[in-house]
Amino acid sequence: MRIETRFLVVFLPAVALVMTVYALLAVREREEVLLAEARQGTEAYAVAVQLVLSSALTSAEPRAVREVVAQLSTPPLRYTVIVYAVDGRTRMAVNPAGPGLPEPAEEIAGLLTDGRARSLDRMVGSEFVHSVLHPVQGTGGAMLAVLEVAQSLGFIAAEKALLRRHFFVSTVALWVVVGITTLWLVRGTVGRPLRRMVTAVQAVGRGDLAYRMSERESTSELRALAAEFNRMAGSLQVAQTSLVRQSEDSLALERKLRQSEKMLAVSGLSAGLAHQIAAPLNVIIGRAQLLESTALGEADRRNVQIITEQVGRISLLVHRLLDFSRRRQAHFEPIDLRIVIRDALAAVEGELAEAGVEVSLEFAGAGEVSGDAELLQEVCTNVILNAVQAMAQAAVQKRLVVRLGSDVATESDAGAWIVRLEFADTGSGIPDDHLNRVFEPFFSTRQRGAGLGLVIARGIVEEHGGSIQARNDAKTGGACICISFPGRSDGRA
């Protein structure tokens, strides 16, 4: 049941009860007033008729008496006038209101005995009649007749019925006014705001913590309630955001921990494997070199060279494994990444020239960070060589774009700076399902790749408090390795 209906169920019966009680009291009061007025009027009229009748009877002209009584009873006066002789018999009667009244023999006898006026109420048929009996005396005090003046009180019943009808119509009209006013008032000030509140609570219950109520409600209490609801929803939204961020941080920390455990396991395995392979490789290389120094045919010499080359590749992989497992501790000092990048490009200048790769430098800041220049140069070298290998089969112009810039950190303390370093190539890019795997040990999409260059780079970057990600660059169309470092603590970028 809606709240408007509940208000009507309470108010309308209450209004009906009040109006009924008021109508009963008002009708009773009106009846008493009319009855008192009727009795007073009858008494006053009886006194007037008594005086006139006394004069007429003294003159002993019955015709004059009848004419006087008839004139006194003409409309609009609606009285019944009866004159009784001293023996109690009816002498004359004028009854404009209806049939004659029965003789009140007992009251007439009493009046003739003591000479005192009397009043009595009688039911005549279905009508209630009020009568007044007065003695008519002559000049010497002799009893000449008995006068009865009667008035029907039926008009009081008619007046009561009219009042009841008026009160009934008033009650119905009041019902309609109260009903419409209650519906309008309750619906506007309570019903609709409560339904909006229910909608808001349901929205929050569904998880829509961004839902807000309008604070322009009809009453100050509802405005305060809407404001409190909005503050509660805002607090819940902040708490949810905080929980989501904490959950994401926990997941990221868990992934990083698993990655560290994986790297630790791979590092231990790599160190042991490298030591086990190094000695046999030295033996194979030594034997191959002895064979090259002997007199061999051209085909045999070519086979020995192939063996030497492949063993050299294996040896290089072993050295990379050793470098991966035994990376030295970083020594931090203020460095300029521009110098580090140029040194790395100079170190691989031959590979760039051989592959026909053009390098573009886009420096938008000094790029001063705190770190180990040698290790960061190794990072740049690994990323550059990885890009060169990615563009080996590219049909377009081979170009490597190195971008360096800085901006304000959005998730760090106010005033902190982030230095961003990007290496974008014009190769074929990285498949979307491989973007999160390129930093896994031994994962490579190329046949000649060892899958350790980016892994080593990631370890060094994270040791410097930075992060490294892979994406596809919209400008070059190829892959882009994005590296972020915290800026210098003195605020310089």
**Per-residue confidence (pLDDT) for residue 221, from 0 to 100:** 75
> Percent of the chain scored above 90 by pLDDT?
9
Which region among 80-89, 291-300, 428-437 has the lowest average model confidence (pLDDT)? 291-300
How many Å apart are CA 192 and CA 194, to the nearest integer? 5
Tokens of 62: 């019955």
pLDDT band at 312 (very low <50, low <70, confident <90, very high): confident
**Per-residue confidence (pLDDT) for residue 345, from 0 to 100:** 92
**Per-residue confidence (pLDDT) for residue 480, from 0 to 100:** 93
Task: Provide the sign of the torsion angle of the four alpha carbons 35, 93, 103, 101, taken in this order.
Answer: negative
Phi, psi at residue 369, to the nearest 5°?
A: -135, 170
**Domains and their CATH numbers in the chain:** 3-160 (3.30.450.20), 329-486 (3.30.565.10)
Tokens of 493: 């970028």
* 421 Cβ contact partners less than 8 Å away, ≥ 6 residues apart: 337, 341, 367, 402, 403, 404, 482, 483, 484, 485
Q: Residue 482 pLDDT more than 90?
A: yes
Q: What are the strands, taking DSSP E only, across 38-142?
A: 80-84, 90-94, 118-124, 127-137
Q: What is the mean pLDDT of residues 466-490?
A: 85
Single-letter code of the amino acid located at 24: L
pLDDT tens-digit series, residues 384-400: 988 898 888 777 789 99
pLDDT band at 491 (very low <50, low <70, confident <90, very high): very low
**Per-residue confidence (pLDDT) for residue 492, from 0 to 100:** 46
**Per-residue confidence (pLDDT) for residue 284, from 0 to 100:** 79
**Residue 406 to residues 364, 409, 484: CA-CA distances in angstroms?**
8, 9, 9
**Per-residue confidence (pLDDT) for residue 424, from 0 to 100:** 93
**Per-residue confidence (pLDDT) for residue 234, from 0 to 100:** 85
**Residue 40 to residues 101, 314, 337, 368: CA-CA distances in angstroms?**
20, 139, 122, 118
**Residue 27 to residues 3, 23, 152, 160, 238: CA-CA distances in angstroms?**
36, 6, 19, 6, 68
Tokens of 47: 């006194």
pLDDT tens-digit series, residues 55-98: 777 765 666 666 766 666 565 557 888 888 888 787 777 765 55
How many Å apart are CA 147 and CA 175, to the nearest integer? 52
pLDDT band at 380 (very low <50, low <70, confident <90, very high): very high
Question: Are 259 and 443 in contact, with CB atoms under 8 Å apart?
Answer: no
**Residue 73 to residues 67, 156, 281, 291: CA-CA distances in angstroms?**
10, 20, 154, 167
Question: Are 122 and 101 in contact, with CB atoms under 8 Å apart?
Answer: yes
278 or 194: whose pLDDT is higher?
A: 194
- For residue 13, is the peptide bond before it cis, meaning its omega torsion is within 30 degrees of 0? no
**Residue 303 to residues 36, 112, 386: CA-CA distances in angstroms?**
147, 171, 30
Phi, psi at residue 394, to the nearest 5°?
A: -70, 135
pLDDT band at 278 (very low <50, low <70, confident <90, very high): low
Question: Are 104 and 131 in contact, with CB atoms under 8 Å apart?
Answer: yes
Question: Are 215 and 223 in contact, with CB atoms under 8 Å apart?
Answer: yes
How many Å apart are CA 347 and CA 368, to the nearest integer? 21
In the chain, count of helices (H) and strands (E)? 11, 12
> Percent of the chain scored above 70 by pLDDT?
82
Which region among 86-90, 182-186, 293-297 has the lowest average model confidence (pLDDT)? 293-297
Phi, psi at residue 151, to the nearest 5°?
A: -135, 130
* 330 Cβ contact partners less than 8 Å away, ≥ 6 residues apart: 371, 372, 375, 460, 463, 464
332 or 417: whose pLDDT is higher?
A: 332
Q: How far is the first Cα of the chain from the last one, in angstroms, to the nearest whole number?
A: 68
User: DSSP class of residue 327?
Assistant: P
pLDDT band at 483 (very low <50, low <70, confident <90, very high): very high
- For residue 441, is the peptide bond before it cis, meaning its omega torsion is within 30 degrees of 0? no
Question: Are 426 and 476 in contact, with CB atoms under 8 Å apart?
Answer: yes
pLDDT band at 422 (very low <50, low <70, confident <90, very high): very high
Radius of gyration of the chain (CA): 60
How many Å apart are CA 213 and CA 180, to the nearest integer? 28
Q: Residue 369 pLDDT more than 50?
A: yes
Q: Residue 490 pLDDT more than 60?
A: no
Q: Residue 357 pLDDT more than 50?
A: yes
Tokens of 222: 């509802």
Residue 163 CB neighbours (<10 A): 16
145 or 416: whose pLDDT is higher?
A: 145
pTM for this structure? 0.43
Phi, psi at residue 275, to the nearest 5°?
A: -65, -35
How many Å apart are CA 311 and CA 413, to the nearest integer? 52
pLDDT tens-digit series, residues 233-270: 888 888 888 888 888 888 878 877 776 666 666 666 66
**Per-residue confidence (pLDDT) for residue 423, from 0 to 100:** 94
**Per-residue confidence (pLDDT) for residue 413, from 0 to 100:** 47
pLDDT tens-digit series, residues 199-218: 888 888 888 888 888 777 66
User: DSSP class of residue 189?
Assistant: I
Question: Are 72 and 52 in contact, with CB atoms under 8 Å apart?
Answer: yes
